[in-house]
Amino acid sequence: MKTLMMLFSVMLFGLLINPTVAVSSKPLIAVANAADSSFTQADRDRITRLEIKLDEGLKAINQRIDDSLKAINQRFDDNRGLMYVLLSGMFVLVGFILWDRRTTLAPVVRTTKELEDRTEKLVLVMKERAEKDPELKEALRHVGLL
């Protein structure tokens, strides 16, 4: 049993280093025949085919991973463009709001100033009239204008 394990280790090591050396070297075949191993040439061929299939499978998986990463990067780039559009839209909106507020408030401020001027003039007229009319003078005192 120990000889069989050692033979298997030597053959496996030979396959890992160079499969053609392990298959074509006569001393390994002689040792295999001497130990009457069940590891045959068909087994070696099967292992070689499995290694080839594994390499192909790994290449396919690597390709899928690369494709997925490219797709993710493309999505990030698309989202970055959308973010720039949204950000510039927000700046335009804020600018429009400020402009609209200024243009909307200007007439209100102008009207308010005109009303204040008219009110001051009316108060002055009423004070002058109150000097001649005692009832009006008492009413203006009552509301706090005199």
State the helix-helix crossing angle for 41-130 and 134-143, rounded to 10 degrees: 150
63-80 per-position pLDDT tens digit: 999 999 999 999 988 888
Per-residue pLDDT tens over the stretch 85-96: 999 999 999 999
Query: Is pTM, for the whole model, over 0.85?
Result: no
Q: Any idea where the domains of the chain sit in the sequence?
A: 1-39
